[in-house]
Amino acid sequence: MPAKQEDLAQEILRGVAQAQNQFNEKGGLNGRLLEIAIANDDNEADNAKQVAAELEKDSSVLAVIGHNASDTTKAALETYRKAPLAVISPTSTSTLLNDSDNNVFFRTVPSDAATGEKLATYAKKSLGINNVVIFYNSGSSYSNSLREEFTKKFEYLLRNRVVKKIDLKHSKRNEWKNELGNSVDKDNAQAAVLFPGTESTSKALEFASLVAEINTRLKNRTNNQGRKELKLLGGDALYSNTTLQHGDKDIEGLILAVPWFREAPQSKEFAQAAQTQWRGNISWRTAASFDATQALIKALSPSASRSTVMKTLPNVKVEASETSGEILQFDKHGERQTKPFLVKVVGGKFELVQE
């Protein structure tokens, strides 16, 4: 649990608590209730290793829901594989996490492969974009994974160009500005794609402000030669109230691929129930955490142990009426086969993109 990032932690805990409360209020399983222990790793890899070691020692822990960031999950996985102890992540999307040998890892969100494909296809086929510049963090497993998956689809399958990859870890604002300007003026970049990790969203918003400056220049240039303003696209790490508040007008029109959205038809029933319970709108993290907890509940039995949970999870099926909106099943790699949604920032709010 990333306690330092309070908003993210609350979003995850709400989903877990909602499923736990629902299960326990119905009497649990043969009168046994579900108890949740909260462990904090602050989204840091070293802390995640320590947390994993402590959880592995506690035999009452039947499975882990988490971790949040892909990097922290990756750091803890070796310990869980040795245990073995099942991990159901509602938020870790990196394609680098799955290991078909001794697989203990499951997730209730689409992987970066699905997200990268969704964004690349929409950029090409709906927006008519052929050239993009990517802003990413080479120190983030999530960022690297999403960058690679987007590039694979955009360049190799759709025959377009990523004209520049700007690494926030090894460059600064002035360098970003120069590289972005060159990408637009010399390489005809038509969009900027933002793939920060959750730990570097503020940097992505700085970059978005540079895109806004470029767009103002393009708009005011007398000899514009038909150049349109740069589009902004990004990954699910940018989906938050913080992004809306701090990004302000610079991110108007930003399009994100997210695992779940409350305004999608299949999501509305759960979204309304959650809104009533938590007295406010919820995010995809809450929905995916609810689903992760529901998957664990389905894997329980009167004599549940780590091994029985591990054996049952691959065959779990949770109907759409019991999840945040879609059937939950895992494939042989622990992946949930659902597709991301596209949302757009319009007037300071996220709205569903009608495809």
pLDDT digits (tens, 9 = 90+) for 76-122: 999 999 999 999 999 999 998 876 555 899 999 999 999 999 999 99
Q: What's the whole-number mean pLDDT along residues 311-329?
A: 97
| 95 within 8 A of 113, measured Cβ to Cβ | yes
| 88 within 8 A of 16, measured Cβ to Cβ | no
Is residue 247 predicted with pLDDT exceeding 60? Answer: yes
Question: Could you tell me what percent of the chain has a pLDDT over 90?
Answer: 86
| 287 within 8 A of 268, measured Cβ to Cβ | no
What ranges in the chain are assigned the alpha helix state H?
Answer: 6-25, 45-57, 70-82, 112-125, 141-151, 173-185, 201-220, 241-247, 268-278, 284-298, 306-312
Separation of alpha carbons 43 and 62, rounded Å: 22
Three-state SS at 168: helix
**Strand 317-318, strand 328-329: pairing:** antiparallel
Structure tokens at 183: 């990408």
Structure tokens at 111: 């992987």
Domains, the chain, in order of start with CATH, read 6-110+283-339 (3.40.50.2300), 113-258 (3.40.50.2300)
pTM: 0.93
Separation of alpha carbons 31 and 35, rounded Å: 13
Q: What is the pLDDT of residues 182-237, one digit of tens each?
A: 999 999 999 999 999 888 999 999 999 999 999 998 888 656 565 689 999 999 99
List b or e across 139-161, with b for residues whose CB sees 16 or more CB atoms inside 10 angstroms.
Answer: ebbbbbbbbbbbbebbeeebebb
